[in-house]
Amino acid sequence: MKKDLHPEYFSDASVSCVCGEKYTTGATQKEIRVEVCSKCHPFYTGEQRIVDTEGRVERLRRRYGQK
Ligand SMILES: [Zn+2]
């Protein structure tokens, strides 16, 4: 990596998420808007995983139930 091509770095960039969560982080932009953050991302909340698991279990139940 060429250091002279590195963009300006803000150590106190403000990040605002669509869920309302706001926090500061290190970034190359002074202000950042994101659609998911660690507070509402499915990976962190586990919601998506639960929905996914239930769908698979339901499919298996249907498959074995038809036998
Ligand atoms: Zn969020």
Please tell me which residue, 42 or 61, carries the higher pLDDT value.
Answer: 61
Report d(CA 30, CA 23) in Å as an integer: 12
**Single pTM value for the model:** 0.49
Query: Binning pLDDT at 50, 70 and 90, where does residue 16 land?
Result: very high
Element (H, E) at 46: none
Q: Which fold, 3-65?
A: Rhinovirus 14, subunit 4 (4.10.80)
Residue range 5-23: mean pLDDT, rounded: 90
Q: Which residues are found with C-beta within 5 Å of the ion, ligand 1?
A: 17, 19, 21, 37, 39-40
Domain boundary assignment for the chain: 3-65
Separation of 17 CA from ligand 1 center, angstroms? 5
